């Protein structure tokens, strides 16, 4: 088998395609959750923190240096721990959403598994033995 044929078999396999779809969907869900956190959750949290956004929380190590013309010579050097808190909240919400998706998927999968399977068709030997039994009863 040539390398091209092996690669084609690998790419066309179900697992690779499913994985690619999962990665794309995860990226899309991540963007939706990030938007939810930044546009809905964080303004709500900011309301209860006195109107201060987490993104503004920082520890300034070096102040910005500005010349007489107002041009920044040296930018501010700061530890942006507020953005880090924002990222952690985002992670927790993404984790919660993924947990709920997996839980719903597992519930649906379990219901499919619990559905009774149709009894298997009798083999040719069983059919023949049943006919013989029925003839012997007569």
- Chain segment 1-29, per-residue pLDDT in tens: 788 888 877 777 767 778 888 889 888 88
**What does the pLDDT look like over 48-97, one tens digit per residue?**
877 777 778 899 999 999 998 989 899 999 999 988 988 888 788 878 87
**For residue 95, what pLDDT is reported?**
83
Question: Domain total for the chain?
Answer: 1
Q: What is the mean pLDDT of residues 31-53?
A: 80
Q: How far apart are CA 62 and CA 133, in angstroms?
A: 96
Per the structure, the complete domain to which residue 54 belongs is given by: 3-137
Q: Given this model, what pLDDT does residue 54 score?
A: 77
Q: Is 107 helix (H, G, I), strand (E, B) or coil?
A: helix
Q: What is the predicted pLDDT for the residue at 60? A: 93
Angle at 11 between CA 108 and CA 21, to 5 degrees: 35
pLDDT at residue number 96: 84
Can you give the pLDDT at residue 39?
86
Residue 74: CATH number of its domain: 1.10.1200.120
Buried/exposed code over 110-121 (b: 16+ C-beta within 10 A; e: otherwise):
eeeeeeeeeeee
């Amino acid at each position: 088998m040539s390398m091209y044929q092996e690669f084609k078999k690998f790419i066309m396999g179900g697992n690779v395609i499913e994985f690619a779809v999962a990665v794309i969907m995860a990226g899309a869900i991540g963007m939706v959750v990030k938007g939810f956190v930044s546009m809905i959750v964080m303004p709500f949290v900011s309301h209860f923190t006195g109107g201060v956004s987490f993104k503004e929380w920082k520890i300034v190590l070096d102040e910005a240096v500005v010349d007489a013309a107002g041009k920044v010579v040296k930018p501010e050097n700061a530890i942006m721990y507020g953005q880090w808190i924002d990222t952690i909240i985002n992670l927790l919400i993404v984790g919660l959403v993924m947990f709920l998706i997996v839980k719903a998927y597992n519930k649906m999968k379990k219901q499919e598994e619990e559905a009774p399977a149709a009894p298997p068709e009798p083999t040719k030997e069983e059919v023949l033995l049943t006919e013989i039994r029925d003839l012997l009863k007569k």
